[in-house]
Structure 1
Amino acid sequence: MKTITPNLWFDKNAEEAVNFYTSLFPDSKIGSISRFGKEGFEHHQMPEGTVMTMEFEIHNKKFIALNGGPIFKFNESVSYFVYCKTDEEIENLYSKFSEGGSINMPLDKYDWSEKYAWVKDKFGISWQLDMDTINSPQKIVPALLFVNDKFANVRDAVNHYVKIFPDSKINFEFPNPSIENIPGETLAFAQFSLNGSLFNAMSGQGQHNFDFNEAISFIINCDSQDEVNYYWEKLTEDGSESMCGWLKDKFGVSWQVVPTEMFKY
């Protein structure tokens, strides 16, 4: 299998979003683009020539943006850490991402970081900006936020994923504090690697009005039918199946298990 690729589900503005993201980071590029044709208009309602999917890279992290219609909306259940090297970098990203968006946590010093912010951009995607003190080998890292009845699932989820994917390991874990209303021996944060791709996982205290959905999924490009069958079986266990390679695992995270050839245009 190749590396795991985040898929971003937009309504009709994938092209605008990709142009915005690639303009913010110096080491970025746009790759393959597919467009809607005349056929199927009665279903997708997209004018001929409208972007269907766009591949793009930011600091060697590949993404795919999809114009899929208004079915799914981005929320904070999946966000993206950006590990910044300088004050100028983090302040510039904070300004650009928050313009037309919203601020969950303002840029400031926190217990866990000398400089950190959590912002939602004008397209609805959440970014956690952090001054890098760990020399992260991956500048942009997806983060899964487990909330409400999934609050205590961070450890189980990380262990589950690491067992499924090759070349995987847990890099570090931070437990939740032992205080009232916090389940014992739960994790506040973990970082782990799946087939060479870094992920973060977090637990969110309190009640939240969001959960994982298909707006952000993770594509597993498989080199053989055996690989397709393996990941499909492992990830649908206690989860749910959908069409065209889509599934939800037992924690509600969405994945796409597809042949590598599917994304060659």
Structure 2
Amino acid sequence: MSLNKITPCLWFNGQAEEAANFYTSIFKNSKVTKIQRYTEAGKEAHGQEPGSVLVTAFELNGQPFVALNGGPQFKFNEAISFQIDCANQEEVDYYWEHLGKDADGSKQQCGWLGDKFGVVWQVVPTALKEMLGDSDVERVKRVTVAMMAMKKLNIAELRKAYEG
């Protein structure tokens, strides 16, 4: 019987191994777990050179991912993103800086960040989730207005808005 897991598969154009190495260098407790290569079999369909990387399997904090070198047909966009829960401003700053490295103009409002491969991340402090979950409508409104004005989320500024 197989384990019931969902593994995100990210489609790259020849950058699967590079992307997996990039992500595992940023997230603690992460590793590349397997590299599979194209073979001569199916070359007429896939068009890739035998020996080139087909799939790089990796884990980020224990979450499995697959990076597939599938070609240029599909691109990443904001319709799918990965949310990083950050315990404090130091973590927000760390992920924002490292994932945003070499990513031209991809920093977006409300903590959204596209990396150099086009994969979209949401760098979110857990404190924000707590503030937005408050039953006080006015507090939530103030925090939402503050958040909408930010790209990288600033916990101190969000807290200031929350407290009024």
Same fold, TM exceeding 0.5? yes
**In structure 2, what is the Cα distance between the partners aligned to 1:59 and 1:15?**
18
Report whether the alignment pairs 1:104 with 2:108: yes
**In structure 1, what is the Cα distance between the partners aligned to 2:57 and 2:114?**
22
Decide which structure has greater helix share: 2
**In structure 1, what is the Cα distance between the partners aligned to 2:62 and 2:127?**
20
Q: 1:68 aligns with which of 67, 70, 73?
A: 70
Q: What's the CA shift for 1:63? A: 0.8
Query: What is the SS of the residue equivalent to 1:55?
Result: strand
Q: What's the CA shift for 1:55? A: 1.4
**In structure 2, what is the Cα distance between the partners aligned to 1:58 and 1:125?**
14
**In structure 1, what is the Cα distance between the partners aligned to 2:79 and 2:52?**
28
Query: Deviating runs (4+, > 6 A) in structure 1?
Result: none
Q: Point out where structure 1 has 5 or more consecutive residues left out of the alignment.
A: 106-115, 136-172, 178-265
Q: What percentage of aligned pairs have identical amino acids? A: 40
Q: 1:124 aligns with which of 118, 128, 136?
A: 118
Matched to 1:133, the amino acid is A
Which whole-Å deviations, capped at 9, do the CAs of 1:81-133 have from their partners, x for residues lacking one? 0001232221121112222221112xxxxxxxxxx611100100100001123
Report whether the alignment pairs 1:133 with 2:137: no
Q: 2:92 aligns with which of 79, 90, 111?
A: 90
Q: What's the CA shift for 1:13? A: 0.5
Within 5 Å, which residues of 2 pair with 1:1-265?
2-101=4-103, 102-105=106-109, 117-133=111-127
Q: Point out where structure 2 has 5 or more consecutive residues left out of the alignment.
A: 138-164
Matched to 2:117, the amino acid is F
Q: What's the CA shift for 1:134? A: 8.4
- TM-score normalised to the size of structure 1? 0.45
**In structure 1, what is the Cα distance between the partners aligned to 2:16 and 2:44?**
20
